[in-house]
Amino acid sequence: MSGAKNSALPALAACLLTSEPVTLRRIPPVRDIATMQKLLGHTGAKVAVADDYVQVEAAKLKRPEAPYDLVKTMRASSLVLGPLVARSGRARVSLPGGCAIGARPINLHLAGLERLGAEVRQEHGYIEADAPNGLQGAPFTFDRISVTGTEDVLMAAVLARGETIINNAAREPEVADLAALLIKMGAAIEGAGTSTIRVQGVEKLHGTEHSIIPDRIEAGTFLVAGAITRGDLVIQNCMPDHLRALIEKLTQAGARITAPSPDSLRIRAKKLKSVDVKTEEHPGFATDLQAQFMALMTQAEGISLITETIFENRFMHALELARMGANIRLDGRQAIVAGVTPLSGAQVIASDLRASASLVLAGLAASGETVIDRVYHIDRGYEKIEAKLKGVGARIRRVK
Ligand code: EPU
């Protein structure tokens, strides 16, 4: 598996916190990463991309800003807000617009930065944050759990004076990975990966080297690929511990999953039965695997109730799956999937990253040919998915 996109994005943003070079390994060469690298370049950081590492040197920040052009293509651009204010005392970051999966505001990021003493205003579609005398550590409680919000505030807190306690923090492995990097850079952080993170601010951070964790969503997508094709698939270079909720659901659905080594998983599946899933913050069932699991449930016997609690509009794939023959009824935040329905290949449109993955999975199980349009969505977050699937026997190719 590749390095985790959602860990690599904050790791790259964290490089803005020091003037010294930071070397990151296992940065996946996917579209969102290229966007983040462009964004770092825009601020004045030097970004060198080699085969097996990316090195960022933010000696001077000429422009502590994230322009609309970059933010509109990737919402995670708001991850530079915290590091920029912390390092240069000001930041100007375009507000992200709407998004295919929900509103996705950044009010929680802003509330956290304000709590650390930044003055935040909104003007002409941009957020301007100022802290001319530096940030001041403080206790802060997230009203709602936010992954990049936690990361943003954490990155700001490491250079703030005194202690910051982040309550109701996201517990995603990507938050813990970011903290691991920051600690190597000289930050004092405790509790990352739990819901309370304590940070003692330091004056300066320094350069270091870090390897990004494997992508649990990519690994999860391949587990579902193994199940939906009734295959026998070994997924290497993954962290089984990060996939517990999915493994439990796949097992309940009838798949057999074993761990041949500490960093691999093997899935074997024959007949599948329906199970209900409800997306939750980590360690619950990941919203980023909901679309893929829905494709799988079309091939399971019985009725599956899929509840999306994280994003309000993340069922666009359901309509496309229905065009392939799936029996799915949507009711607000719930999808009712009745299986088994034979899927038949069709021309479908990808609406977002994980939705495109679910269409690829459905295509693997469908009779005949499936053509997926707007496949650039998949390139935002999956490295060479077609080559990896082809390597295990799928008949898939990129048309354009
Ligand atoms: N929210 C707010 N205000 C905020 C921030 C979030 O209301 O200031 C709401 C969101 O609208 C959403 C919920 O809180 O309803 C949770 O959003 P969160 O902030 O946790 O999402 P995110 O940090 O923007 C990250 C991932 C997403 C993943 C979500 C949930 C990155 C770069 N992105 O987004 O990944 O779905 O957490 O786990 O880490 C993907 O990779 O396909 C993807 C969308």
pLDDT at 135 over 70: yes
Q: Which DSSP letter does residue 83 get?
A: H
Spatial contact of 206 and 20, defined as CB atoms under 8 Å apart: yes
In which band, very low, low, confident or very high, does the pLDDT at 344 lie, cut at 50, 70 and 90? very high
- Supply the DSSP string of 151-177, one letter for each residue: HHHHHHHTTSBSEEEEES----HHHHH
Select the highest-mean-pLDDT range: 70-79, 117-126, 186-195: 186-195
Index of the ligand 1 atom closest to the CA of residue 312: 15
For the question of whether the overall pTM of this predicted structure is more than 0.95, the answer is: yes
Q: What is the mean pLDDT of residues 91-96?
A: 91
Q: Which DSSP letter does residue 373 get?
A: E
In which band, very low, low, confident or very high, does the pLDDT at 326 lie, cut at 50, 70 and 90? very high
- Cα–Cα distances in angstroms (integers) from residue 171 to residues 248, 284, 286, 388, in the given order: 19, 10, 12, 29
Q: What is the mean pLDDT of residues 196-200?
A: 98
Spatial contact of 225 and 364, defined as CB atoms under 8 Å apart: yes
Mean of per-residue pLDDT scores for the chain: 96
Spatial contact of 147 and 174, defined as CB atoms under 8 Å apart: yes
Catalytic residue among 99, 234, 259, 305: 99
- Say how many Å lie between the CA of residue 146 and the centre of ligand 1: 6
In which band, very low, low, confident or very high, does the pLDDT at 105 lie, cut at 50, 70 and 90? confident
pLDDT score, position 97: 64
Q: What is the mean pLDDT of residues 238-260?
A: 98
- Say how many Å lie between the CA of residue 367 and the centre of ligand 1: 35
pLDDT at 98 over 70: no
Where does ligand 1 bind, in terms of residues with CB under 6 Å? Answer: 6, 9, 75-76, 102-109, 144, 146-149, 174, 287-288, 310-311, 353-354, 381
For the question of residue 238 being annotated catalytic, the response is: no
- Say how many Å lie between the CA of residue 288 and the centre of ligand 1: 10
Compute the distance between CA of residue 42 and CA of residue 3 in angstroms, rounded to an integer.
Answer: 24
pLDDT score, position 322: 97
Spatial contact of 259 and 265, defined as CB atoms under 8 Å apart: yes
pLDDT at 202 over 90: yes
Spatial contact of 126 and 94, defined as CB atoms under 8 Å apart: yes
